Amino acid sequence: MNYLEEYEKWCTDPAFDEETKKELLEIRGNNEEIEDRFYKELEFGTAGLRGVIGMGTNRMNKYTVGKATQGLANYILEQGTQDKGVAISYDSRKMSDEFSLQTALILNANGIKTYLFEKLRPVPELSFAVRELNCTAGIMITASHNPPKYNGYKVYWDDGSQIVEPRDKEIIEKVREIRDFKEIKTISKEEAIRKGLFNIIGKEIDDKYIDTLKKLVLNPEIVKKEGKKLKIVYTPLHGTGNTVASRLLKELGFENVYVVPEQEKPDGNFPTVDYPNPEDKKAFKLALELAKKVDADVVLATDPDADRLGIYAKDSKTGEYMTYTGNMSALLIAEYRISQMKEQGLLPKNGMLITTIVSSDLAKAIATNYGLECIEVLTGFKNIGAVIKKAEENKDKTYVFGFEESYGCLIGDYARDKDGISAVMSLCEAAAYYKSKGMTLWDQMLKIYEKYGYYKEDQISIVLEGADGAEEIKSMMTNMRNKDITQIGDYKVITFKDISRDYVKNMVTGEEGKANLPKSNVLYYELENNAWCCVRPSGTEPKIKLYMGVKGKNEEDAIDKLSKLKTAMDTLVRNA
C-alpha cells in the first residue's frame, strides 16, 4: 500500500474516529504533507517511539501509541510477568498525560497491573520507581529535549534501564506483529480500578527517591554551612525537573535557590525557548538574566524529562558566567565525587567508571588517576545500564560513576538512566565544597585541565528531514564506510572501527580484527596525538551526528586543534 492509499484508508476506515478524519481531510491535496505523514510507519525502535504529534502512520498519536503498548503487553504476557506490573510516568509535552493514561488502560485491558504517577515526574524517578516497586517494566512518555511538536515513548525493563539486546528486538517484533488497530484491547478506567489493575503513585515514591539521593551526599556538613551562602539559579525549562529539584535542594540546606519564574510551570508549548534543550545556549537566556540580577554562583537547567543537565558557573576573575559542555559538567562531578570518596575511604578497589565512545577521553585520565577501570560502551545510557546490571549479577565490579557527552550522568546505582536531578544536587554540593576552599566551579574546572590536560570535544548535527533526507543520511554512511580514510585534517588515522560490521582496521599496519561492541551504525576514527572522530545517524531525530575530540598543550591550543578538526570532518562527511 503506497502512502496515498494509506492516507485514504485513515480518512474512511471506521477504525479511525471522526476527529482523526477531520484532521486528515484538512490536508487533502497537500501531497508533501501527506507523504511525510504516511510514507512509513513510526518505528518502535531500540529507543521506543519518537515523532511529531499528529495523525498518520509516521506520527505520534493514540493509534501508534496503542499499537506499541499492545505489542509490549503481548510480550509481557509471554514472559508471564504481568502481575509485577508496569510503572508509567510522563513529562509536560502535548498529549503526554493522554498518552500515559491510554497506555495504562491498554495494559490493564490485557490483565497487566499499572502504577501511573499522579502528575508528571522526571525520567530518573520513573527508573527508580521500576526498581522500587519491583515492576516488570516502565514507560516514560517524553520526547526528551526535542522541539515542542514532538513526543515519544520510552520503555524500561525490570532493572530500571531502557530495554537492550536481545529484549529490545523481541519487543519490536511483537509490536510489528500488530497488523490491525482493532487488535488493541481497551478497558474503562472504572473497571480497571475495580479489578485492582489501575494504581496511582506519587508522594511516597518522591519521598523514597529524594531520601535515596540525600544519602549520596558526601559532605553534608559543608553543604549545610555553605548552603546558607551559595546562590543557585535553576530552570526546569517548562518541564518536570522542579517537581522534585527545589524540594531536594531545600532539604539539603541550600537556602538561596532561585527558580526562573517564567519557566517554572510545566508547559508543552515551551513558550520562552525555541528548543527546550540545556545543550542550547539560547535556552539559558532568562536564567542568566536572573543570575546576574541575584549574583548567582551557579546556573542550572534540566530538559523537559530532567535526565539532562546544563550548567553555567561564574569565573571569579572576570565575573562572567562560563558555559560547560556535557563532558565538562559530568567530569567535574566525577572528579569531585571520586576524589572525595578516595579521601573518605569509600572508593572501591574494583570500581568502574563507565563512559561512551563519543565522550571525552578525559574520563580515561581520571579513571587511571584513581585506579578505576574505565569501560567504554556505545552511545545511549541504556548501554551503561547494561554494564551495571552485568557487574551486579557477576558481583565482580562496583559502579562508581557513568556519563555520556549528551549532558547526562548517574552518580549511584539506585536508577539505571541518566539523572538530571542528582546532577543538580551533585553540582550544588561541589559548588558548596569548592566555595569552602575559596573557589568557584569554574576555578575547579580549570584545575582539572591543569591536572589532566586540555581535552576539548564538540559535535556537528547535519539535519536532513523527510524521506529524501533519510536516503541522504544512509548514502553518507555507506560512502564513509567504503572509503579507506587515512588522514582527517592534520591527523593521521591510526584505527578505523565499523561497529555495524564488528570490524577494526589498523590503518598503519593494515591489521584487521573485531570491534567487540554490539552492532550499531557507528564509524569511529582513532587519530594520532589523542584525537578522535565518530559518525553516526541519530536514533531519534532526522540527522547525522559527527563527534570529535582533541588534547591540547593549553586551552588556546586545544580550541585551535578542535576547530580545524571540526571543519575537516564536516567537509569530509558532506562530500562523502
Q: Are 253 and 280 in contact (CB under 8 A)?
A: no
88 and 48 in a single domain? The answer is: yes
447 and 458 in a single domain? The answer is: no
Percent with pLDDT over 70 in the chain? 100
State pLDDT tens for residues 482-510: 999 999 999 999 999 999 999 999 999 99
234 and 133 in a single domain? The answer is: no
Confidence of residue 82 (pLDDT cuts 50, 70, 90): very high
249 and 272 in a single domain? The answer is: yes
Q: What is the DSSP string of 507-536?
A: TTT--EE---S---S-EEEEESTT-EEEEE
Q: What average pLDDT does the segment 99-106 reach?
A: 98
Question: Out of 88-102, 423-437, 513-527, which region has the weakest mean confidence (pLDDT)?
Answer: 513-527
Q: Where are the beta strands (DSSP E) in 371-451?
A: 373-377, 398-404, 408-410
Question: Residue 329: its pLDDT value, please?
Answer: 98
Exactly one of 127, 144, 406, 426 is catalytic; name it. Answer: 144
Confidence of residue 306 (pLDDT cuts 50, 70, 90): very high
237 and 150 in a single domain? The answer is: no
- Tell me, yes or no, whether 22 lies in a domain: no
Q: Where are the beta strands (DSSP E) in 133-276?
A: 137-141, 150-157, 198-201, 231-235, 256-259
Is 100 a known active-site residue? Answer: no
State pLDDT tens for residues 430-477: 999 999 999 999 999 999 999 999 999 999 999 998 888 999 999 999
Give me the CATH number covering residue 469.
3.30.310.50
Domain count, the chain: 3
- Stated as kind and residue range, the H or E segment containing 567 is helix 555-574
Q: Find the domain containing 529 and state its range.
A: 454-574
117 and 247 in a single domain? The answer is: no
Predicted TM-score (pTM) of the model is: 0.93
Residue type, 172: I
CB atoms within 10 A of CB 446: 16
400 and 258 in a single domain? The answer is: yes
Give me the CATH number covering residue 151.
3.40.120.10
CA distance 229 to 123: 30
Average pLDDT, the chain: 96
Question: Residue 316: its pLDDT value, please?
Answer: 85
235 and 364 in a single domain? The answer is: yes
Confidence of residue 576 (pLDDT cuts 50, 70, 90): confident
DSSP three-state, residue 155: strand
CA distance 563 to 113: 53
pLDDT(45) > 90: no
Q: What is the DSSP string of 248-307?
A: HHHHHT--EEEE-GGGSS--TT-TT-SS--TTSGGGGHHHHHHHHHHT-SEEEEE-TTS-
68 and 82 in a single domain? The answer is: yes
Percent with pLDDT over 90 in the chain? 92
Question: Residue 466: its pLDDT value, please?
Answer: 84
Q: What average pLDDT does the segment 30-45 reach?
A: 91
For residue 408, what are the β-bridge partners?
Answer: 404
Question: Out of 331-335, 516-520, 559-563, which region has the weakest mean confidence (pLDDT)?
Answer: 516-520
Q: Are 517 and 377 in contact (CB under 8 A)?
A: yes
Question: Residue 145: its pLDDT value, please?
Answer: 87
Question: Residue 421: its pLDDT value, please?
Answer: 98
CA distance 276 to 146: 7
133 and 247 in a single domain? The answer is: no
pLDDT(522) > 90: yes
417 and 291 in a single domain? The answer is: yes
Question: Residue 540: its pLDDT value, please?
Answer: 72
Question: Residue 425: its pLDDT value, please?
Answer: 98
Q: Are 427 and 329 in contact (CB under 8 A)?
A: yes
Question: Out of 329-338, 344-353, 392-401, 538-547, which region has the weakest mean confidence (pLDDT)?
Answer: 538-547
Q: What average pLDDT does the segment 424-429 reach?
A: 98
Q: Are 174 and 89 in contact (CB under 8 A)?
A: no
Q: What average pLDDT does the segment 544-560 reach?
A: 96
State pLDDT tens for residues 151-203: 999 999 999 999 998 999 999 999 999 988 999 999 999 999 999 999 999 99
